[in-house]
Structure 1
Amino acid sequence: MNKKTFNNPLIEQRADPWIYRHTDGFYYFTASVPEYDRIELRRASSLEGLAEAEPAIVWRKYETGPLSANIWAPEIHFNAGKWYIYFAAARTTETNDGLFDHRMFALENASENPLEGEWTEKGQVKSAWESFCLDATTFEHKGKLYYVWAQKDPEIEGNSNLYISEMSNPWTLTGKQTMISQPEYDWEIIGFRVNEGPAVLKRNGRIFISFSASATDFNYCLGLLWADENADLLEASSWTKLPEPVFRTNEAHSQYGPGHNSFTVDEDGSDVLVYHARSYKEITGDPLYDPNRHTRVKIFGWTEDGLPEFGEPQPDTESGR
């Protein structure tokens, strides 16, 4: 395995990190900000350069309505020749009963550099139910664009399951919407029954989907699904879930609640796991409002069986930012 290490945290107080390396050679970064009130983008020619890159604010929440609270987990994708940001947003009400009533939304930008030009709202990405949903991601496979997200099915106990659908365009779902995972193991149901934050990785003849499970404190961890690349991805039976988490708290390294990851590659082409974690266990108040989920990055390798091997979250480096 590549022994290269990074200074961690890479970027402080940025949760749900998403890093995408485009064909232009630049890395693009976005994440949840502690205020949950805006979407930022950074751009750099190297992974570590993102730490010092100047953030551009590309969108701000509204004062009222369905896009006015808890702007969560933006991701930037390049689909059908344009840039898209997918994110979840809730609504502010007089009684605050809508603060966790999230829906999924899309922004579009036709500029070559997404930190420039205009981001236009494409509206809500609607699924089969009008219920709590978040953490959308997209990927292309065999000429089709797929959407994977987390949502509450009103008929199923728990907080969120994972679903997949094809898209007719980068902001519209089409055809069947299939549940591919729901919380079932002990490590998926601590505090909350949660599967969320899917991220897609295509390697070794398979399509892998990592996801996060349980409450967002030290119990937060990563699980893994996979399907054969030639399988029908819209059939639930095509997906296998590993029975144990693949990345979790390491108290010896003072790394707590690693999760909500994305994947990229470094400048040498090595696979990189991007994730957030805290450096302490005890949290005062609601973990969602503790700002110190920092973005971290880590080289990972592969097992002889062709599965990703994430190892353990590494301790913060003395020279880390």
Structure 2
Amino acid sequence: MSRFFKGMKLRILVVLFLCSWSMANCSTPDDGSIPDEVKTTFQNPLWDGADPWLVKQGDEYIYCYSANNGIVLSRSKFMTKQGELKQIWRAPETGWNKACIWAPEIHFIDGHWYVYYAAGQSGPPFIHQRTGVLRSKSDDVFSEYEDMGILNTGDVSDDLSKNIWAIDMTVFQHNNKLYAVWSGWLEQKDTDASAQHLFIQEMENPYTLKGNRVLLSSPEENWETGGPLNLNEGPEVLQNGDHVFIVYSCRESWLKEYRQGMLQLNSPDADPLNPDNWTKKGPVFEGNSTVYGVGHCSFVKSPDNTEDWIIYHSKKTTEPGWDRNVRMQPFEWNPDGSPDFGQAIPAGKVINRPSGEVEIEENQTTQ
């Protein structure tokens, strides 16, 4: 045998030995410790995006967002990692909702998933935005969805021709009633440089509003005004036992001053449709010297249900614009039952993964 083939044989044996050693040492340790590849921490930001909506159903996390003029869902066992993806809906080629798909969020109500989203005929200017609803055909979040139509967010309940601009709708149940909350205009305008307010209305069912809309909040406090356009938008409901809060975004979404205010229902028995029954506080969460323009959040429990987390977006730079990414961090509760969101955590700072998440990944790795 030539020196060349002897050398080749030796090199092959060395490679095989190293591969065997590597595989043996990458297997699960006998002492039950976490394998090296399962990280116990993460850092913000998590991924690019805006208006993050994350909801927990059973032991799964459903992430909902708009992409390619449609709506996409992710289903995952983890808060910090997106999982299986599916586009559940794409805007039609014609009609009121053919463009400008904004800020969808998904809710599980009475055995079906409902997606609330804003859309319009065209833009900019974004003067056509209205709110639509999709409904799943089964309790499977990845089932087919049917278009339940447009919601009448105007003041004339039986006349859609008088419908009024509306975005960022969310829904919540309280005292056996279903309510919708959204950001809208007082009247229809021909410019999108218009002040935005928060409205609330009872729902007859998850795709039909009942009665009349009620003006709940306007940008009036010094911490929610002062820029070129005063906004109240992105309302999200946070419930803690009998306590009900609406955390919303204010100031300008394209500026670093974008921040979070809060409405608190004064008592569990108070009528949510009476604006006098809500107390405004703020800002309850805002940016700092390293985190810019925090806004449009959602709230979920950790996998083991022992922690509360806020998921939000922030601007990538201090320059005006909508280039944003998604972050999350845990928060606590004050003695009076109100949330304490703390300070926005800078990018790159190590954060422990949500409680129970490491164990889930460890079990997947060892199976």
TM-score interval (norm. to shorter): 0.7 to 0.9
Alignment of 1:161-200 (within 5 A): 161-189=197-225, 190-200=227-237
Specify whether residues 204 and 78 from structure 1 end up closer, same or farther in structure 2 by C-alpha distance, changes over 3 A only. Answer: closer
Specify whether residues 315 and 176 from structure 1 end up closer, same or farther in structure 2 by C-alpha distance, changes over 3 A only. Answer: same
TM-score by length of 1: 0.87
Partner of 2:27: none
Q: Matches of 2:188 and 2:229 in 1, distance apart?
A: 16
More contact order relative to length (CA 8 Å, sep ≥ 6):
1
Alignment of 1:201-280 (within 5 A): 201-216=238-253, 217-227=255-265, 228-242=267-281, 244-251=282-289, 254-269=290-305, 270-280=307-317
Partner of 2:182: 149
1:52-82 deviations in whole A, cap 9, x for unaligned? x132111112333311221000000011211
Specify whether residues 155 and 66 from structure 1 end up closer, same or farther in structure 2 by C-alpha distance, changes over 3 A only. Answer: closer
Please, which of 322, 326, 330 is the counterpart of residue 295 of structure 1? 326
- Compare the two structures and name the one with the higher helix fraction: 2
Name stretches of at least 5 consecutive residues in structure 2 with no aligned partner: 1-39, 156-162, 352-367
2:322 is the counterpart of 1:312: no
Alignment of 1:123-142 (within 5 A): 123-129=149-155, 130-142=163-175
1:256-298 deviations in whole A, cap 9, x for unaligned? 1100011111113211111001232124xxx2xx4x3111111
Please, which of 99, 110, 113 is the counterpart of residue 126 of structure 2? 99
Pair member with larger Rg = 2
Counterpart amino acid of residue 110 in structure 1: K
Partner of 1:74: 104
Counterpart amino acid of residue 154 in structure 1: E
Q: How many angstroms does 1:183 deviate by?
A: 0.5
2:75 is the counterpart of 1:43: yes
Q: How many angstroms does 1:32 deviate by?
A: 3.9
Q: Is the 8 A contact 1:106 1:125 kept in 2?
A: yes
Q: Is the 8 A contact 2:137 2:146 kept in 1?
A: no
Specify whether residues 318 and 301 from structure 1 end up closer, same or farther in structure 2 by C-alpha distance, changes over 3 A only. Answer: closer
Counterpart amino acid of residue 285 in structure 2: F
Paired residue secondary structure (1:237): helix
1:2-52 deviations in whole A, cap 9, x for unaligned? xx9743222x22100000001x3110001244x5x11110011121232xx
CA RMSD after TM alignment = 2.2
Q: How many angstroms does 1:97 deviate by?
A: 6.2
TM-score by length of 2: 0.76
Q: Is the 8 A contact 1:6 1:297 kept in 2?
A: no
Q: Matches of 1:30 and 1:6 in 2, distance apart?
A: 21
Counterpart amino acid of residue 324 in structure 2: R
Q: Is the 8 A contact 2:165 2:188 kept in 1?
A: no
Paired residue secondary structure (2:97): strand
Please, which of 40, 56, 61 is the counterpart of residue 27 of structure 1? 61
Q: How many angstroms does 1:111 deviate by?
A: 2.5
Q: Matches of 1:5 and 1:299 in 2, distance apart?
A: 13
Q: Is the 8 A contact 1:30 1:42 kept in 2?
A: yes
Q: Matches of 1:98 and 1:218 in 2, distance apart?
A: 22
The alignment covers a number of residue pairs equal to 298
Q: Is the 8 A contact 1:274 1:296 kept in 2?
A: yes
Q: Is the 8 A contact 1:165 1:234 kept in 2?
A: yes
Specify whether residues 177 and 131 from structure 1 end up closer, same or farther in structure 2 by C-alpha distance, changes over 3 A only. Answer: closer
